[in-house]
């Protein structure tokens, strides 16, 4: 049967994740892989989870196994609202923050509408934006029209701006954090265009050094949809996240989510609510941050030891990633096969740029790789880079 003739006109816009393609082709567990973005399994609260389900069943009975409210179960919404100091009415629970990105795009974007984003940016967000056939542009194309596709005074067609997408805290892939000034600039631009800001913040609670910077939502609550996630502070397998935002926008998301999944997973939500309100989440977070801080510091010291001169990297104050910029002569896509054949994997940085530029960059993850593989992996990578520079 020819299935293709039945596919919707959206299907050609779907974009495969290059990161997941890497996973499909290679057994990354057999090599030193800095490619994925998974949390370390040791951060999962396995001991708590041996008793948590029983406690949930005792406390909530069969309610925990029933369908639940589309906005999320009240106990979890209240716990999230209390943690972040917002009214419960401004909290929508989502089936992961990836769904948060998708549902926000779905309610805001028609094909051809413009989304502005900082770069490098999160691939999963680009996948959602493309699926809705949005016109995704770098913010710089607005501020410096001569460098991009857009002129503000362009007669026709007038771009239909919908939102600005940003990852202000410990960006995936760059690991960088936006300063207060940079956040204020985003808010000023959103106010100038009178559009919404999608603040994607799954790593915010994973800070290892430096000081918290106010969220964009705190600076502009009237126009920010702030996305949070339990994936990095509990476990990604539960697929739970949340959106904090203006009630009118949440109302539309609520209706949209009815068609998507009726409600987020109810049992998982009760587990998360118990985990949070009992204090176990904060206790686990202390251990998680200590683990990741150590891994970050180890990676930075190993890069200093093994990378040849001319290689630069970001210093992440939190999150799970670090971004390398190599000398211009090196193309990390082209270098990838050599790296794999020698036993080390990374993600080429150009995947995170809208125009595929920055081919001399790469993303390295420090949360997932077995710690004992970090040194051999970075030694290998440093050797490959050095070999290319000496050619
Ligand atoms: C910036 C960013 N947003 C969203 C997500 C998706 O997280 P979740 O597991 O909550 O869907 C990720 C996952 O890596 C991410 O890096």
The domain segmentation of the chain, as residue ranges, is 4-44+282-389, 66-280
Q: How far apart are CA 77 and CA 194, in angstroms?
A: 29
Average the pLDDT over 271-291 and give the result.
Answer: 98
Q: Note the pLDDT of residue 146.
A: 53
Ligand 1 neighbourhood includes 96 CB (under 6 angstroms): yes
* Ligand 1 atom with least separation from CA of 37: 14
Question: Hey, which of 23, 93, 97, 233 would you mutate to test ligand 1's pocket, going by the most ligand atoms within 8 Å of its Cβ?
Answer: 97
Average the pLDDT over 35-41 and give the result.
Answer: 94
Q: Cα(203) to centroid of ligand 1, in Å?
A: 8
Q: Note the pLDDT of residue 141.
A: 82
247-261 and 97-108 helices cross at what angle (nearest 10)?
110
Q: How far is CA 45 from CA 83, 253, 271, 283, in A?
A: 20, 31, 12, 10
Q: Whose CA is nearest to atom 16 of ligand 1?
A: 172
Average the pLDDT over 27-52 and give the result.
Answer: 93
Q: Are 4-44+282-389 and 66-280 the same fold in CATH?
A: no
Question: Residue 383 above 80 pLDDT?
Answer: yes
Per-residue pLDDT reduced to its tens digit, 12-29: 888 888 777 777 777 888
- Domain 4-44+282-389 listed as CATH 3.90.1150.10: yes
**Peptide bond preceding 279 in cis form (omega within 30 of 0):** no
Ligand 1 neighbourhood includes 167 CB (under 6 angstroms): yes
With bands split at pLDDT 50, 70 and 90, how would you rate the model's confidence at 150? low
Q: Whose CA is nearest to atom 9 of ligand 1?
A: 231
Per-residue pLDDT reduced to its tens digit, 207-216: 999 999 999 9
Q: Cα(377) to centroid of ligand 1, in Å?
A: 25
Q: Note the pLDDT of residue 158.
A: 82
Ligand 1 neighbourhood includes 94 CB (under 6 angstroms): no
Q: How far apart are CA 220 and CA 93, in angstroms?
A: 21
Q: Cα(98) to centroid of ligand 1, in Å?
A: 6
Helices assigned H by DSSP within the chain: 18-25, 46-60, 74-84, 97-108, 123-131, 140-143, 180-193, 216-219, 247-261, 266-277, 280-306, 332-342, 371-389
List phi, psi (to 5°) of 157.
-80, 150
Question: Residue 153 above 70 pLDDT?
Answer: no
Per-residue pLDDT reduced to its tens digit, 109-131: 999 999 999 999 999 999 999 99
CATH number for 66-280 (one of 1.10.240.10, 3.40.640.10, 1.20.1070.10, 3.60.15.10): it is 3.40.640.10
- What is the average pLDDT value for the chain, to the nearest integer? 94
């Amino acid at each position: 049967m020819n299935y293709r003739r039945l596919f919707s006109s959206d299907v050609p816009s779907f974009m495969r994740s290059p990161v997941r393609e890497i996973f499909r082709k290679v057994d990354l567990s057999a090599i030193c892989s800095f490619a994925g973005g998974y949390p370390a399994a040791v951060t999962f609260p396995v001991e708590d989870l041996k008793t948590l389900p029983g406690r949930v069943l005792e406390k909530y009975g069969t309610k925990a196994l029933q369908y639940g409210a589309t906005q999320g179960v009240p106990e979890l919404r209240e716990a999230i609202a209390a943690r972040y100091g917002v009214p419960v009415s401004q909290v929508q629970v989502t089936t992961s923050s990836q769904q948060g990105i998708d549902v926000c795009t779905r309610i805001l974007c028609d094909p051809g509408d413009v989304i502005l984003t900082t770069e490098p940016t999160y691939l999963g967000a680009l996948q959602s934006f493309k699926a809705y056939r949005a016109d995704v542009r770098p913010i710089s194309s607005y501020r410096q029209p001569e460098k991009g596709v857009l002129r503000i005074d362009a007669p026709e067609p007038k771009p239909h701006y919908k939102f600005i997408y940003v990852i202000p805290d410990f960006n995936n892939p760059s690991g960088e954090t936006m300063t207060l000034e940079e956040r204020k600039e985003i808010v000023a631009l959103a106010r100038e265009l009178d559009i919404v800001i999608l603040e994607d913040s799954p790593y915010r609670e994973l800070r290892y050094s430096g000081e918290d910077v106010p969220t964009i939502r705190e600076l502009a609550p009237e126009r920010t949809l702030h996305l949070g996630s339990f994936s990095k502070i509990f476990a990604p397998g539960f697929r739970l996240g949340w959106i904090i935002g203006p009630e009118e926008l949440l109302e539309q998301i609520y209706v949209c989510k009815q068609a998507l999944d009726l409600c987020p997973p109810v049992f998982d939500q009760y587990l998360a609510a118990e985990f949070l309100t009992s204090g176990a989440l904060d206790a686990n977070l202390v251990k998680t941050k200590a683990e990741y801080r150590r891994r970050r510091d180890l990676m930075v010291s190993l890069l200093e030891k093994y990378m040849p001169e001319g290689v630069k990297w970001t210093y992440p104050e939190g999150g799970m990633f670090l971004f390398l910029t190599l000398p211009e002569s090196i193309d990390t896509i082209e270098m990838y096969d050599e790296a794999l054949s020698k036993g080390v994997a990374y993600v080429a940085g150009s995947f995170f740029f809208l125009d595929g530029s920055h081919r001399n960059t790469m993303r390295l993850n420090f949360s997932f790789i077995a710690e004992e593989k970090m040194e051999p992996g970075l030694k290998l990578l440093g050797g490959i880079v050095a070999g290319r520079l000496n050619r």
